[in-house]
Every structure is written in C-alpha cells, then in structure tokens.
C-alpha cells in the first residue's frame, strides 16, 4: 500500500537535533518515498491519510526487554533482589508452559505498540514464542534465546541449537536474531569467546546483561581480577555489534574501554531503580562518546514496557543526580530512543528517523491530547509530558498495526482471555 500523509507535522532529525516541519509524507511499500512533494504523475497512486492535529514521529526503539515477562507484571514488587529472582521469578519461569510465553509476549507487543514502540530487542527462554508473537503483531524485533553455561557446544548446545532453529524459522525483513549470553555470572569465559566467534561467523548481533549490580562487579573483581567490562573486552566480546544492557556500575577505565570497543550501552532507568541497583552514568558515557540507548527491561522489573515513561524518568533522574537542570535534555533522550538505537542495530538511517529511503516505522501522536496541549515545545512534551496514551496510530514497515487506537494485528480480547487463564493456572 502507498500512502500520502497530509496535514500533519513531521518530527525530523537534523544535525541540530529534532525539529518539527509541516510537510506531507509519502510512503511506498515499506519505505518513506518522499517528504514534502512527490511526482505529480504519481499523486493518484497514494491513499490519503489526513493527519490533522497529529505529530508523525519515528517509532521508539526499546533496546532491552523480555516481552514474555508480562505474565509477572506486579507479581514481585517491593521485595529484595534474591527473593525477586530466586523465589518469585525463576519458579514461575520453571513451571510456565511454553505457549504461555506466546500470549505474554503478544501482550508485551500490544503494550509496546499502544505506547509507540515499533522495534524491540528481546531476550527470552521459550523458543519460538517471542518471534511468533512479534510476527503476529507486525513488529520489528531483534530476538535472542538466552544462553547460559560452561560450553556453548556441550552444556549450552541445545540452547544454541534452539536459537539457530528459531532464526531459521522466523527470520524476515522485520525479525532478526541476536546471540544472547545471559550474564557473566551465568556464562563462562569460554562461552563468551564461543558466542563472539559464532556471531562473527554468522554476521549476527550479540547482547548480554552487564555490570547491573554492585555484587556482580565485586564478584567479577574477586573471581577474575577485573571488572565485567574489562573481562568481556579481554574475551573479544565487545565490538560495534554488541548491545550491553544496564552498564550501571562503571569502575576504573570501564567507560574508556566501552568507547574504544564501539559497543552500545542500554540504560534501563526504571528497572535499575526498582531493583535497587542505581543508575547508569549516562551523562558521563555520552560525554565520552559511548552510543547510549534506552530499554524498559521486562515487566517483572519495571513494570511497564512504555518507552515514554522511560524517557521522562531518564531525564529527571539525571537532572536530580547531577543537581543540574540542563542534564539529559529532551533532545538527548529522544535521540537515545531512536537514532542511537538504530545505530546499535546496524540500521542507521533505516529506522528511528523520518527521511527518504528509511523504513516507514512511525507513530501518529495526538497533539490535541490534554497532556501535550498547548504544544509549546513538541520535543520537550514527548519527554516530559507524554505518557504513551497520546499515540493514536502506529505504522511499522509501511503497515498500520494500530489505527485510531484500534489494534489491527492483535485480537486484544483473546489475549486478555488467554492471559487470565495462564495466571489462574500458573501463578
Ligand atoms: Zn534484562
């Protein structure tokens, strides 16, 4: 389908940052074909979409989550980390049937679409379910089966095999796969080396959790004589194809190592705060030239997948920490959630921006929403005022997945029905 989107305002990214322009936008197939004007001879080939009172902005990119965890939303709040992980989350994960992960991932996709996320990076433990949900939802997704153990080809082999099988079954223009060792406390040094080799050989991205808590860093220093960042650097795991969730506890020259490696850091402000782990030094990371992105983490540790909330939190937290109202401004935060994320995914100029030739991954935001009115500064309002409910329509790869608030790819009542059943039977 080709669309001419007219009467709206476009949020475009330039060297000077994001700015709003009142121009028409032309979509052909899955791509943005033109901004402003098109070939008059082709005018009839487009279906017109009236975007009066709408901002058309790049879809947000959630760079770290576990979509299947919606099952455990508000199931383990206000408890300490050990109780959260070992007594609440892990026992549920052990007893959940595999198909539960499909419905909970689909619920996650629903929440992400409703709040303007068009792409997400997922780490899961139930093979095939997350990609199946992303495919049903029509979302852009970068998915990895969590890998753990001593040796990728022995203890972890079945997991690698599963990871590669789901890649084979589900890889498409929208769905890609990421090799995903879980963390340095659940994977051996050897496994990280093996994953790096596999990723290089297959041209795949890789992701891991890194330096999330004080305990993780203290344990690495006593076990390996190095910080987790230094350890992964020495193992050859850090490069421009590596996505690192958390990066909260940076010590010594960790930030210099990250910058030199070209690896991408993903801050998860709500999750890191909720689990009592602190805050990543995002202002310092940015000053040192590290590419910084934003994730929600899973709903058991957040408890939403709403990137608007995450953007607002990120800015406010860092203004507070630095006692500086100019820290982490709206422009910086919005860039982290779009342009920087696309760069980390190897999709620079292909998503996270509105420009000719990019994929049509777009949010239509209601500028008459009371929370954004009177539109004094639209970029600011997206960071400080929006709560996600202002997203009216969402397009991913040129297809509407939500239009005028109606979900077009997900049977929402069925999702609620299946989720209630899963909760009644397993929690
Ligand atoms: Zn995580």
Distance CA 170, CA 177 (A): 9
Backbone angles phi, psi at 52, to 5 degrees: -60, 140
Residues 146 and 226 in one domain: yes
Directed axis angle between helix 98-114 and helix 412-426, to 10°? 130
Distance 142 CA to ligand 1 centre (A): 14
pLDDT for 155: 64
Residues 231 and 374 in one domain: no
Distance 300 CA to ligand 1 centre (A): 10
Distance 64 CA to ligand 1 centre (A): 6
Distance CA 24, CA 34 (A): 8
- Percent of the chain surpassing pLDDT 90: 91
Distance 183 CA to ligand 1 centre (A): 9
Distance 110 CA to ligand 1 centre (A): 19
Distance 90 CA to ligand 1 centre (A): 13
Distance 245 CA to ligand 1 centre (A): 7
Distance CA 283, CA 318 (A): 8
pLDDT by residue (tens digit) across 135-175?
A: 999 999 999 999 999 999 886 678 888 999 999 999 999 99
Distance 297 CA to ligand 1 centre (A): 5
Residues 215 and 147 in one domain: yes
pLDDT by residue (tens digit) across 189-208?
A: 999 999 999 999 999 999 99
Domain boundary among 344, 368, 388: 344
Distance 273 CA to ligand 1 centre (A): 13
Distance CA 341, CA 364 (A): 20
Distance 19 CA to ligand 1 centre (A): 33
Residues 53 and 72 in one domain: no
Mean pLDDT of 255-283: 97
Distance 74 CA to ligand 1 centre (A): 16
Distance 70 CA to ligand 1 centre (A): 13
Residues 321 and 393 in one domain: no
Distance 298 CA to ligand 1 centre (A): 6
Distance 248 CA to ligand 1 centre (A): 13
Residues 390 and 281 in one domain: no
Lowest mean pLDDT: which of 60-64, 80-84, 94-98, 173-177?
A: 80-84
Domain boundary among 293, 317, 344: 344
Distance 123 CA to ligand 1 centre (A): 7
41 to 38, 44, 398: CA distances (angstroms): 8, 7, 21
Distance 208 CA to ligand 1 centre (A): 8
In a domain, 162, yes or no: yes
Distance 301 CA to ligand 1 centre (A): 9
Distance 204 CA to ligand 1 centre (A): 19
- Taking all residues of the chain, what is their mean pLDDT, rounded to a whole number? 96
Distance 10 CA to ligand 1 centre (A): 33
Distance 143 CA to ligand 1 centre (A): 12
Mean pLDDT of 275-280: 94
Q: What is the CATH number of the domain that holds 262?
A: 3.20.20.140
| Residue among 327, 257, 337 at smallest CA distance from 290 | 257
Distance 39 CA to ligand 1 centre (A): 46
Distance CA 63, CA 420 (A): 28
Q: Residue 387 sits in which domain range?
A: 2-59+351-405
What's the sign of the alpha-carbon dihedral 185, 191, 196, 199? negative
Residues 199 and 222 in one domain: yes
Distance 424 CA to ligand 1 centre (A): 25
- Indicate the pTM of the whole model: 0.98
Distance 78 CA to ligand 1 centre (A): 18
Q: What is the CATH number of the domain that holds 384?
A: 2.30.40.10
Distance 179 CA to ligand 1 centre (A): 14
Residues 67 and 47 in one domain: no
pLDDT > 80? residue 104: yes
Distance 209 CA to ligand 1 centre (A): 6
Distance 105 CA to ligand 1 centre (A): 14
Residues 218 and 92 in one domain: yes
Residues 229 and 358 in one domain: no
pLDDT for 81: 80
> Do the beta carbons of residue 43 and residue 49 sit within 8 Å?
no
Distance 65 CA to ligand 1 centre (A): 6
Distance 23 CA to ligand 1 centre (A): 39
pLDDT for 157: 75
Distance 376 CA to ligand 1 centre (A): 36
424 to 293, 418, 421: CA distances (angstroms): 36, 10, 5
Number of structural domains found in the chain: 2
| Count of residues making up the chain | 427
pLDDT for 156: 64
pLDDT > 80? residue 345: yes
Residues 388 and 302 in one domain: no
pLDDT for 144: 97
Residues 155 and 29 in one domain: no
């Amino acid at each position: 389908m080709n669309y001419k989107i007219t009467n709206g305002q476009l949020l475009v990214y330039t060297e000077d940052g994001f700015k709003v322009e009142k121009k028409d936008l032309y979509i052909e197939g899955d791509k943005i074909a033109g901004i402003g004007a098109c070939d008059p001879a082709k005018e009839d080939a487009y279906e017109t979409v009236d975007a009066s009172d709408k901002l058309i902005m790049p879809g947000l990119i959630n760079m770290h989550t576990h979509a299947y965890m919606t099952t455990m939303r508000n199931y383990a709040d206000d408890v300490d980390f050990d109780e959260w992980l070992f007594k609440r989350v892990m026992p549920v994960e052990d007893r959940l049937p595999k198909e539960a992960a499909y419905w909970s991932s689909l619920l996650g996709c629903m929440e992400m679409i409703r709040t303007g996320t068009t792409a997400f990076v997922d780490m899961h433990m139930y093979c095939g379910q997350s990609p199946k949900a992303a495919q049903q939802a029509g979302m852009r997704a970068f998915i990895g089966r969590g890998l753990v153990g001593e040796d990728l080809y022995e203890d972890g082999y079945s997991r690698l095999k599963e990871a590669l099988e789901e890649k084979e079954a589900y890889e498409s223009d929208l769905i890609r796969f990421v090799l995903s060792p879980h963390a340095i406390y659940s994977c051996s040094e050897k496994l990280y080396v093996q994953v790096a080799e596999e990723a290089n050989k297959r041209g795949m991205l890789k992701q891991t959790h890194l330096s999330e808590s004080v305990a993780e860093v203290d344990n690495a220093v006593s076990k390996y004589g190095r910080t987790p960042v230094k350890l992964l650097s020495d193992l050859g795991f850090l490069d421009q194809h590596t996505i690192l969730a958390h990066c909260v506890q940076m010590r010594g020259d960790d930030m210099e190592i990250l910058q030199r490696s070209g690896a991408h850091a993903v801050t998860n402000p709500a999750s890191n705060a909720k689990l009592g782990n602190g805050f990543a030094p995002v202002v310092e990371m940015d000053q040192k030239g590290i590419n910084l992105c934003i994730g929600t983490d899973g709903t058991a540790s957040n408890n939403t997948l709403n990137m608007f909330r995450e953007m607002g939190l990120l800015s406010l937290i860092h203004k507070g920490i630095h006692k500086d109202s100019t820290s982490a401004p709206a422009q910086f935060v919005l860039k982290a959630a779009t342009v920087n994320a696309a760069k980390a995914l190897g999709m620079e100029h292909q998503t996270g921006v509105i420009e000719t030739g990019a994929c049509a991954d777009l949010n239509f935001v209601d500028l008459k929403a009371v929370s954004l009115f009177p539109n004094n500064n639209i970029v600011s309002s997206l960071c400080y005022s929006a709560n996600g409910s202002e997203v009216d329509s969402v397009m991913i790869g040129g297809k509407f997945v939500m239009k005028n608030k109606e979900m077009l790819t997900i049977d929402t009542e069925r999702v609620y029905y299946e989720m209630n059943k899963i909760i009644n039977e397993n929690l």
